[in-house]
């Protein structure tokens, strides 16, 4: 029988250290929902999602009850809508977003991802229409998330798409001005996007994925922080070992939940995403882990090294705990969703430039960053270009989820609510990148992409 | 199917009696019990078999929680596998 101490340890992790399963995400292929008539295509989309994911929320809630582990989100990701809508006569893809929103509402999920386009090498007709419709789609729906992949190591960086995304983000911010430009929090621009990521806003169901699949994203920064408290002052070998052991335990939870969900729903198990995803709750912060390693504030010199160690140890610990690992897998560093990051920005310890450096070693990129509303589209595009370059050259995923908060200045606070949290508006380098961005075209794939 | 029940709180007379009454009423078989008291905090861990249970798992969970509230204790029931998967390879 399991020992008392082990039972208590698990319960303590859940009760006091905010251990949870962040999301069960059902990936659904919509490739059989194409039709020349938009109305028919949308009806097929609605029917398929509501049929396959009908029991997703119920099963998630049952697992949560029986195993006593909170499952915070139940989500659906679908094939990038640009691919599905493209066959139709529709000009206005906002209607497809509304269909996704309705379907998500019917089945009761927290978010639906896949209002997406993959344009790392160029646009198709559907990609163009979809990207054009993003601002209105995100501000007129509640649950729909959108992502655009603008670069890969293999294809290089599509600078035309990056320029357009700068403008799209600005328009999206303006359209949701009354909610502190909240709609921008549902839009991610990626380089090297993974096809099986269960986390929002970047989740979509990749074209190489099966018909229907269950992916699970774990969490647990609080558990790692508490484990590190017990090895105060120990050397980095010990720090790494401690994080690995903890990540192993956290991931085993994810694996268990993924298997149960897959069995009960009769849907194939895809991957477990080994991510440390923070929430605004105190004690659920990635920044606090870095500070626990001995930094006065997240953002101090040494932060990048600390994050590199954390990110690597999380993967090493997690990888043996799950039969299939995928998605983003690593530590997230969103600003507004992490109490420690917010404090670090407010106190002046953490700047946009330092965050950019940190994205070289974390799992994603510049995430949930509020900048002044008057930041130009060119500057936003240039921020995306920098991130894409980091991803492309280093063979990793990078992303930008940035919120130009209309009407707000540096130091103002924007409130998104819920898991999206709230965050201070950060300073942006004001020197112009306009001429650079206006060049357009593609930055060729780097030499390290030629591996054959 | 086996589950683990944990009871945590201040020690008092009748804890085991109270909890096992709920279990007996619902045809839950107790397989093993361990208990300790650390600094006045009473901790009891029960391994139970819920194969023959007559009601829904979530209802059983609610009943145990309610009993716990009455006695000023935190009572939870969880599927055994969550502990096995975390602590056993």
CATH number, domain at A127?
Answer: 3.20.70.20
Give the SS3 label for residue B82.
helix
Q: Among all residues of chain A, which has the CA nearest to that of B5?
A: A7
Question: Minimal Cα–Cα distance from A393 to chain B, Å?
Answer: 37
Q: Per-residue confidence at A4, pLDDT binned at 50, 70, 90? A: confident
Q: In the predicted model, what is the mean pLDDT of chain A?
A: 95
Tell me the mean pLDDT in the region A79-107. Answer: 97
Structural domain count of chain A: 2
Same domain, A170 and A308: no
Q: Judge contact between B26 and B63, C-beta under 8 A.
A: yes
Same domain, A342 and A396: yes
pLDDT given at position B19: 93
Residues of A contacting chain B (CB within 8 angstroms): 1-4, 6-11, 62, 65-69, 249, 252-253, 255-256
Same domain, A143 and A81: yes
Whether residues B83 and A67 touch (CB distance < 8 A) is answered with: no
The beta strand positions in A108-235, using DSSP E, are: 111-118, 144-152, 156-158, 187-191, 212-218
Please give the residue range of the domain that contains residue B52: 2-87
Please give the residue range of the domain that contains residue A404: 218-441
Q: Nearest to residue A399, comparing CAs of A207, A145, A179?
A: A145
Provide, as residue numbers in chain A, all residues whose Cβ is less than 8 Å from the Cβ of B87. 2-3, 6, 9-10, 249
Mutate to test the interface with A, among B37, B86, B87, B89 (most CBs of A within 10 A): B86
Same domain, A115 and A42: yes
Q: Among all residues of chain B, which has the CA nearest to that of A248?
A: B86
Same domain, A44 and A121: yes
Structural domain count of chain B: 1
Percent of chain A with pLDDT over 90: 88
pLDDT tens digits for range A391-414: 999 999 999 999 999 999 999 999
Residue A87 has pLDDT above 80, yes or no: yes
Same domain, A222 and A99: no
Same domain, A136 and A247: no
Low-confidence residues in chain B, pLDDT < 50: none
Residue A355: enclosing H or E segment and its boundaries?
helix A352-358
- CATH number, residue B54: 3.30.70.260
Task: Report the helix count and the strand count for chain A, using DSSP H and E.
Answer: 15, 13
Please check whether residue B45 touches A, CB under 8 A.
Answer: yes
- 3-state SS of B45-66 is EEEEECCCCCCCHHHHHHHHHH
Tell me the mean pLDDT in the region A121-147. Answer: 97
Same domain, A279 and A337: yes
Per the model's pLDDT, the better-predicted residue between A59 and A220 turns out to be A59
Spatial distance between the Cα atoms of A354 and A361, rounded to a whole number of angstroms: 12
Instruction: Return the bridge partners of B8, or none.
Output: B43, B74
Alpha helix (H) residue ranges in A201-351 = 221-229, 236-265, 286-292, 303-319, 339-346
Same domain, A149 and A289: no
Same domain, A287 and A351: yes
Q: Judge contact between A30 and A78, C-beta under 8 A.
A: yes
pLDDT given at position A282: 78
Same domain, A186 and A233: no
pLDDT given at position A389: 97
Same domain, A225 and A126: no
């Amino acid at each position: 029988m399991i020992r008392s101490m082990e039972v208590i340890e698990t319960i303590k992790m859940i009760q006091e250290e905010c251990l949870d399963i962040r999301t069960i995400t059902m990936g659904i292929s919509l490739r059989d929902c194409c039709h020349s008539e938009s109305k028919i295509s949308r009806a097929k989309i609605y029917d398929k999602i509501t049929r396959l994911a009908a029991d997703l929320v119920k099963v998630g809630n049952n697992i949560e009850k029986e195993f006593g582990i909170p499952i915070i989100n139940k989500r659906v990701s679908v094939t990038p809508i640009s691919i599905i809508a493209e066959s139709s006569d529709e000009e206005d893809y906002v209607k497809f977003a509304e269909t996704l929103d309705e379907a998500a509402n019917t089945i009761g999920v927290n978010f639906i991802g896949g209002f997406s386009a993959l344009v790392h090498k160029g646009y198709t007709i559907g990609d163009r229409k979809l990207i054009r419709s993003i601002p209105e789609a995100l501000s007129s729906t509640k649950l729909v998330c959108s992502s655009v992949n603008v670069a890969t190591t293999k294809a290089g960086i599509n600078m035309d798409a990056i320029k357009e995304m700068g403008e799209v983000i600005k328009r999206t911010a303006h359209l949701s001005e009354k909610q502190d430009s909240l709609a921008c929090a549902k839009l991610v621009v990626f380089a090297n996007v993974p096809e099986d990521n269960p986390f929002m806003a970047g989740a979509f169901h990749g074209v190489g994925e099966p018909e229907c699949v269950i992916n699970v994203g774990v969490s647990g920064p609080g558990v790692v922080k508490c484990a590190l408290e017990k090895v105060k002052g120990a050397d980095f070998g010990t720090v790494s070992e401690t994080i690995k052991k903890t990540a192993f335990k956290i991931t085993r939870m994810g694996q268990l939940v993924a298997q149960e969900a897959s069995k009960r729903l009769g849907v194939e198990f895809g991957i477990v995403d080994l991510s440390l995803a923070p929430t605004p709750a105190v004690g659920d912060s990635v920044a606090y882990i870095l500070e626990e390693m001995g930094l006065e504030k997240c953002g101090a010199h040494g932060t990048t090294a600390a994050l590199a160690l954390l990110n690597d140890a999380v993967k090493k610990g997690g990888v043996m705990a799950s039969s299939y690992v995928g998605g983003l897998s690593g530590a997230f560093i969103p600003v507004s969703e992490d109490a420690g990051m917010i404090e670090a920005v407010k106190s002046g310890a953490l700047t946009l430039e330092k965050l950019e450096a940190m994205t070289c070693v974390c799992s994603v990129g510049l995430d949930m960053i509020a900048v002044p509303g008057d930041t130009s589209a060119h500057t936003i595009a240039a921020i995306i270009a920098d991130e894409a370059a980091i991803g492309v050259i280093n063979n990793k995923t990078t992303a930008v989820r940035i919120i130009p908060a209309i009407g707000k200045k540096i130091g103002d606070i924007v409130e998104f609510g819920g898991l999206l949290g709230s965050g201070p508006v950060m300073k942006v380098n004001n020197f112009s990148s306009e001429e650079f961005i206006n060049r357009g075209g593609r930055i060729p794939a780097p030499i390290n992409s030629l591996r054959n | 199917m086996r589950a683990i029940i944990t009871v945590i709180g201040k020690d008092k007379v009748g804890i085991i009696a109270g909890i096992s009454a709920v279990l007996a009423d619902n045809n839950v078989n107790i397989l093993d019990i361990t208990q300790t008291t650390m600094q006045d905090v009473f901790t009891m861990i029960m391994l139970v078999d819920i194969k023959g249970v007559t009601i829904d798992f979530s209802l059983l969970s609610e009943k145990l929680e309610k009993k716990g509230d009455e006695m000023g204790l935190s009572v939870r029931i969880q599927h055994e596998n969550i502990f096995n998967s975390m602590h056993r390879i």
